[in-house]
Amino acid sequence: MHRTNFSDPCRNRPYTNNCTTFHCENSMRLSRPDSTLRLSASLLLLAALAACSDNKPPAAAKAPPTEVAIVTVTPGSMPVTTELPGRIEASRIAQVRARAAGIVQKRVFREGSEVKAGDVLYRIDPAAFQAAYDSAQAVVAKADANLAQAALKVQRYAPLVKTNAISKQEYDDAVTAKTQASADLAAGKAARQVASLNLGYATVTAPISGRIGRALVTEGALVGLGEATPLAIVQQIDPVFVNMTQSSIEVLRLQRAMASGQLQSAGKGLVKVTLVTEDGKPYAHPGKLLFSDLSVDESSGAITLRAEFPNPERLLLPGMYVRAKLEQAINEATITVPQQAVQRTGQTATVLLVDAEDKVVVRPIKTSTSQGNKWIVTDGLKAGDKVIVEGFQKVKPGATVKTILWKDTDTAPAAMTAPAAGAEPAPAAAAAK
């Protein structure tokens, strides 16, 4: 049997599969029995093409909009508060002085304690004053006896002069003697009163109720000789006064703001005053404004104001430095935003807003003073604007966002705090209104 040999010129040659073709350097002739090989190659090609098409990456899914917390701008009524420096002053101050000359025998009080009016503070040697009083008492007794004798003489002469038993001259002399004896008695009583006062001055008492300071003299000291020697100081510190100063320029600004209708007066007698102590903590008891001076200090250009505060715990001491906050006027259209929503770059302040299409926009603003955890905005915002408070770090201008309401957990009191050097002033201006 004759057998035909089919030779494969590419059998020992490498080939490349690039998902589309099989390559061989030399073409080969296939006989009819190679049809099965062709079919197998076609199936392999189709499988390779299908595998290539299945390896294409899927299309990326669209990210959801970022969620941000917003507040809607709503103008409201807010008191305008001016913060002023002040000093504590005792409501009453009494310098205890020696009004009688002598040697101090005893100090009765305890330094730094509370005393009441009339309490004994010092005892001065009273011997000389007691002797003077006793002498004055004797003079009074003598004058009283002389007056009694003169009165009896006049009483006896009265019927005798009518019958001409004695001369008119004798009767007139008796009446004159009685009048002189009465005057001597009055002078003696006055001298006795002076002696009694001097004797009383030997016992030094507190003129007012309050807290007494340190003793200025000790036992054995000679006091009151030629001058009223200071012995101690008593200060009444419940209530206390707070003396403040306010620039006359600030007063003019507030007056003009109220005249233009931008601010409303707090009302006569309605100015509220609070204190911040030296350690930065608020004082628990509110005070009341007593007066604002009508004249301007020529050296400082400031007006003096005085407020009164209760001091039952004796926390406020004379000379202590405090900051007083006065609610002087009312702003009926105040716009505020949380401080964390304001971004500052140098001197520029901006906020991020959400427009009607839920897109982020940048808005420059101007702020004046603080109110709790918020800024008072004077320009750049209007009612209805949506300000981003939380989440603005994750978005950029032009991005689409999803909004939720921001919840304010701060409970700070609402009051526009104006710095002492640049804010609207004015209890003086309020009083002028």
Strand order through the sheet with 102-107: 203-205, 120-124, 102-107, 222-223
pLDDT of amino acid 288: 87
> Which CATH number do you get for residue 155?
1.10.287.470
Tell whether 118 and 130 lie within a shared domain: no
The count of structural domains within the chain is 2
Contact 216, 231 (CB under 8 A): yes
Tell whether 176 and 209 lie within a shared domain: no
pLDDT of 156 over the 80 cut: yes
Q: Is 73 domain-assigned?
A: no
* Predicted structure pTM score: 0.59
Tell whether 220 and 184 lie within a shared domain: no
Tell whether 120 and 209 lie within a shared domain: yes
Q: Is 147 domain-assigned?
A: yes
pLDDT of 249 over the 90 cut: no
Tell whether 116 and 156 lie within a shared domain: no
Q: Is 194 domain-assigned?
A: yes
Q: Is 347 domain-assigned?
A: no
pLDDT tens for residues 343-396?
Answer: 888 888 999 999 988 899 999 998 887 777 888 888 888 888 999 998 888 888
Q: Is 166 domain-assigned?
A: yes
Contact 388, 341 (CB under 8 A): yes
Read off the DSSP letter of residue 232. E
Q: What is the mean pLDDT of residues 233-251?
A: 87
Give yes or no for a cis peptide into 9 (omega within 30° of 0): no
More confident residue, 280 or 43: 280
Tell whether 155 and 216 lie within a shared domain: no
Tell whether 118 and 210 lie within a shared domain: yes
Q: Is 188 domain-assigned?
A: yes
Look-up: residue for tokens 């003077």?
132
Q: Is 25 domain-assigned?
A: no
Look-up: residue for tokens 């000359």?
101
Tell whether 211 and 190 lie within a shared domain: no
pLDDT of amino acid 178: 93
Tell whether 141 and 161 lie within a shared domain: yes
Q: Whole domain around residue 216: which residue ranges?
A: 99-124+205-228
Tell whether 150 and 113 lie within a shared domain: no
pLDDT bucket at 118, cuts 50 / 70 / 90: very high
pLDDT tens for residues 312-357?
Answer: 999 999 999 999 888 767 777 788 889 888 988 888 899 999 998 8
> Which CATH number do you get for residue 213?
2.40.50.100
Q: Is 335 domain-assigned?
A: no
More confident residue, 246 or 241: 241
Tell whether 185 and 131 lie within a shared domain: yes
pLDDT of 24 over the 90 cut: no
pLDDT tens for residues 82-95?
Answer: 888 999 999 999 99
pLDDT of amino acid 48: 54
- Single out the residue in 189, 213, 228 at which a domain terminates: 228
pLDDT of amino acid 109: 94
Tell whether 197 and 131 lie within a shared domain: yes
Contact 321, 87 (CB under 8 A): yes
